Structure formats: structure tokens, C-alpha cells
Chain A
């Protein structure tokens, strides 16, 4: 008190003391509860930890500094988002096909950020060590921020384009969104150590750059300043998450040799699951960006084969080997984007976005990027389908797929050495048959069938009658199961799906911007006045 005149000001802490108090100092030794009663989920996986204090704080960040930095990032980001909205930035992207990629993002990826928030929240509760608990708590908040900033940013697009307005509803119901959903729910329902190896190491450290770098440059290249902004706002968080991933692995491997086989098993499993999830990105990069930055096979070479190769060479001293199924990913790199786009096109009436066949310009690019595969296998297929469209008999598939019990993709992938043969795998378990898309997924099923037998496979759920809105009568004479299943999934037939040409998005785009909805095909409607871009296409077609 000033009146007393003799109160000393509180001693100013030096940086080191401040850091210690605001990180490790936040923990305490329990006095009236046993430690094993408080941390009940930390032993059952069989991981051996001798000394939690050996955990290096990977973030070197105190909680108060964390809040300050994140607050600054938010202020900057939302200033840009405001400007983007005021200037109708949604119309500055290359064309309306680009918007279809954003639909995949908001419906299939943003929810994973939220699931990740939940997962790290649990770790922040379950780890006995203070260092990892604080790291998990920070990442949990980061992930919540990623979900909210993506929702806010993409909401501007949702005001003008179809298929983005029901993302949380759709995530739980749309048949192909069970692929990302089941990926993360598998991780969240694992033990805390499997979760952190799965998400922090296999996904964030080994695979995220692949999602981040080419995808963000693709957004920038196509004029999507909103996505670029939330991307860069998240990037410094990602850098922290990757540090956590590598710290976790080193900590587990150094604590006890008994951890090595467990870590290896989780790396093998989650590398494969993460790779299968990212196949979606392969097709987004190669087909949905009207202006492309890099092909999927190039990204895989740089971000997995080179960077991942160096990483696993480094981890060899702990007895860790590269992921068991890495050779399959390399064998598939020239095929996977094309196989996936074909499947989306053939089934365009059953997805929540609009589809098109690649233009001549795009096919020329693919021939150049995929000299060993595109002209031989995929160009003939697209040319046949183009001829079918021209003849007025466009090709469509209308029968639901056999799904993989593990990754939940349709069994559409081919054998490593033979792109004309599907890689179908099966396991018998307790008298029942289960299907897998690959050896990688079969390894996972066979290791823990107890978990995967109760996967919620959308195709089987539809046939069991569990995917119709209340009041729908499957015995009615005019009952159409496909239409009713789409309604249940929140997809409006004829509006959200089908052919891009003639869709509400394409038509509105031309009306609102006077620019072609597909820069490679010229105007679909006479609303297009931008003669430069039309003339360009006309000239290219003529030449």
C-alpha cells in the first residue's frame, strides 16, 4: 500500500523463472488421490514411460504468451476476411469450378479440425506429464480456431454458391464423408499414445506439408485470398504441431525399447490411413484447381519420398523402419488422382458438388505430368466419355459401391503392378466376410477386427433402411431409394450435384461476373461479356 510507504514491489521474474512457473509450475503432485486413479487411460496400451520430465517442451511457449500471439493472429485474419467480404472476393477466383473444391474442403476437412480439437482436449486431461498436457491443450485450442476461421471464411462463398450450407449435418450423413469422419473417429477412440502418434506424427509431421504447401499455393494461384489467409494464419500453429509430432516420437522411443514395436505398428497403420485420406487431395489438386501449381505425383515425390525418406533414415537409429506400405503409395502415385476423379464423375448424381470432364488443355497438362500413365490408361476413358456426352448418352453409374471396411473408400484402387485389376482383399472373421481396398487396410483390419466390425458403412446402412428421413415409406409404389438417401444426406438432387455445365453455380457465376464459369470451355451462357477470355478459348479451340 502506498500509504504505508514501505511495501516492496513484487520481485520481477527473469524469463527462465517466468517460463518455468507458467509451464511445469502449473502442475502439482496429488496428495489425497492416487496418481493411477487420476490418469486412468495412460497404461492400457502398453507404453512404458519412466520419466515424464524428460519431455522437452516443444513449443517453448507460456500460456499467457500463447493467448497474446493467437489474439494478434485473429485480429489480422478477421481484418482480411472483412475486406474480402466487402470487396466480393468470392468472384475473384479463377472460375466457378474452383468453388467446387471449397465444397469438398468445408464438408470434408473442416470437421476434422474440430475432431482434432476434441482429441487433443482428451490428451490434455489424460497425460500425467505437465509438458505434454500443456502442448496438447494449446493444440486443442489451435484446432478449434482452425475450424472456426475456416467456417467464417468459407461462409462468404456459401452465400453465393450451392452445397456449403449444411456442412455439420452432411458430415455425419453423406456416404463419402464417412471416409474423413471414420479416419478421425478411429484416432479419437484409440488410446492417448496411439492418438498422438497417429495425428501429431504420422499425419501432422509426415503428411501435413503435402496438404498444406501445394494446396495453399493453389488457392493463392487461383485468387482465393480468403483461403490463403486462413491458411497462413494456421501455418505457425502447424509448425508447432509438427514439432510436437517429432518430439513425441523421440520421447517414446527414448523412454523404453518396449515402445519401439508399438510405435512402429502405429506408424504403419496411420501412415496408410493418412495416405488414403489424402487421396482426396490428389484429385482436388489435379482436377479441381483451374490453374494448377504442381501435380500430385510431384508433391508425393517431394513431400513424402524425399522429405519422408530423410526422416525415416534419421529414425533408423531407434530401430524404426519406413512405413510398411510406403512402396504401394509410390506405385499408385501416377494413378490415384485419375481413378478418383473418374469415380466422382461416373457417380456425379450421388455427390454434393458438380462434375466435369477435363478439358483438352488439362489433358495435355496431364499427359506431360503423367507420361507413364495418363495417355495409356485415362485419356482413352475421358475421350470415350466425352464422345458419349456429345452423343447425348452421357455415362453414369447408379449402383452403390463395395466399401472398404477400414478406410471406407469404395474398393476402387488397383493392384500396384497392374492398373487394370482392382486390388480386392477379404478377411473372414467369426464366420463373416469383410472387404478391404488394399493390403494396407487389410493389415489394419486383421490386427484389430474387434474394432472394425462395427464400422458404420453408409452403403450397408442405406440397404438396411437407416438412411431415410422420418415419414418416408419404403413400401410406397413411387419409392426411389437413391433420391430418398440423397435427401437424408442433405444433398438436393439437381441442385447440389450432377453436371457442372448447366448447374446453378455455373449459370449464376456467368450472370454475376460476366466471365466464363469454366475458363477452358468458353461461355456457357450469353451473360459472358469478357471477350478477352472467350476469344482466347475460341482461338485455342480453332488452333
Chain B
């Protein structure tokens, strides 16, 4: 049902369109079963950034303090967005991997499920 408002056809302006982020897009990244990092991490990234650069250049700064991080076998990592699982092509850009503005990427690291196997750590 459309909103009921004093002004007919009321519609708020979109506050967070991609054009407002100075050439970047917003990407949220969540490491599943590592809830010490208790939320998807929100970062502005260039859409042309190769997926491999996300892994090598961005994720260590966010998650590097976790003892599991160094043990990750990146070939075994399972990636997904709200559209379902995907296999990233590391040489291709975020855009070409289907990562758009405000996409949330979740990844799972099989065998690594938090400090001592406790997923909230």
C-alpha cells in the first residue's frame, strides 16, 4: 500500500545513491562464524577494483587481527551474496563479479570457525 502522507505522492529523496560516493561504491563484507567481528564491515571501494585486490589489500586491514585469518586457504573459501553463492574471478573487477553498490558479501572459511571453533569469537 502506498504511503499515506499530507503531500500527495510523497517520496523521500534517495540519500545513498552511488553518485554521492565520489567514484566509490559501498560494499559490506561479513566473515561468517567469526562474530567477534560482529557486523558486516562497510567500506567504500572503486567498482573497478579487481576482486583479488579486495582479498589482498582490503580484508587484511579489517580482519587481520583474528588468529584464523592467516590460516585461510583462499581457494577453499565459499562466497555468497543475497543472490546466492558465487565463485569470484580474482582478476576481474568487483562489477564484473556482480558486486554492485551496497552489495553485502559473506564468506565462509571451511574448517575455521572462530577461536577454538567457537563461532562467536
Contact = CB atoms under 8 A, between A and B. Distances in A.
Nearest to B22: A465
Contacts of A378: 120
Contacts of A433: 82, 100-103
A222 interface: no
Contact of B40 (A41, A44, A343, A411): A411
A287 B101 CA distance: 37
Interface string A432-457: 11110000000000011011111111
A435 B44 contact: no
A160 interface: no
Interface residues of A, number: 54
Interface string B5-17: 1100011111111
Given A346-B38, A433-B100, A454 B82 contact: no
Interface stretch (B48-56, B86-94, B111-119): B111-119
A18 interface: no
> Chain B contact residues: over half helix, strand or loop, or mixed?
loop
B30 A424 contact: yes
B109 to A, nearest CB: 14
Contacts of B28: 402, 435
Interface string A308-323: 0000000000000000
| Most B CB within 10 A of own CB, among A410, A453, A455, A456 | A453
Contacts of A422: 30, 35, 38-40
Contact of A380 (B3, B22, B120): B120
Interface in A465-509: 465
Interface in B61-77: 61-62, 65
Given A420-B119, A460-B26, A402 B12 contact: no
Nearest to A405: B16
Contact of B39 (A46, A393, A411, A448): A411
A450 B39 contact: no
Nearest to A449: B3
A381 B102 contact: no
Contact of A399 (B17, B43, B103, B121): B43
Contact of B11 (A339, A412, A450): A450
A175 B44 CA distance: 17
A455 B106 CA distance: 25
A46 B33 contact: no
B41 A399 contact: yes
A453 B10 CA distance: 12
A506 B4 CA distance: 51
A45 B6 CA distance: 9
A402 B20 contact: no
A395 B40 contact: no
Interface in A195-240: none
A451 B36 contact: no
Contacts, number: 140
A403 B115 CA distance: 26
A402 B42 contact: yes
A283 to B, nearest CB: 13
B107 interface: no
A460 B115 CA distance: 31
Contacts of B21: 463-464
A457 B89 CA distance: 32
B104 A402 contact: yes
- Indicate the size class of the contact surface on chain B: 35 or more
A403 B62 CA distance: 17
B37 to A, nearest CB: 6
Contact of A381 (B11, B43, B118): B118
Contacts of B30: 402, 422, 424
A69 B13 CA distance: 46
A426 to B, nearest CB: 5
B24 interface: yes
Contact of A463 (B41, B44, B65, B103): B44
Nearest to A414: B35
Given A380-B120, A420-B119, A453 B12 contact: yes
Contact of A450 (B12, B38, B106): B12
B3 A402 contact: no
B4 A424 contact: no
A412 to B, nearest CB: 5
A395 B43 contact: no
A361 B70 CA distance: 35
A397 interface: yes
Nearest to A262: B4
B84 interface: no
Name the residue among A44, A343, A399, A452 with the largest chain B CB count within 10 angstroms: A399
B57 interface: no
Nearest to A420: B119
B114 to A, nearest CB: 8
A72 B42 CA distance: 52
Given A384-B115, A397-B37, 20 more contacts: A191-B4, A346-B37, A380-B115, A380-B116, A380-B118, A381-B35, A402-B39, A402-B41, A420-B35, A424-B106, A435-B28, A448-B3, A450-B3, A451-B12, A453-B11, A454-B13, A454-B15, A457-B15, A460-B15, A460-B26
Interface of B: 1-6, 10-17, 20-22, 24, 26, 28, 30, 32-33, 35-44, 61-62, 65, 82, 100-104, 106, 115-116, 118-121
28 contacts: A44-B6, A45-B4, A191-B4, A191-B6, A342-B36, A378-B120, A380-B115, A380-B116, A384-B36, A384-B121, A393-B65, A395-B65, A397-B37, A399-B43, A401-B39, A401-B41, A402-B104, A419-B120, A424-B82, A426-B82, A432-B14, A432-B101, A450-B5, A450-B11, A451-B12, A453-B15, A454-B13, A460-B42
The 3 A-B pairs at the shortest CB distance, nearest first, are namely A454-B12, A420-B119, A402-B40
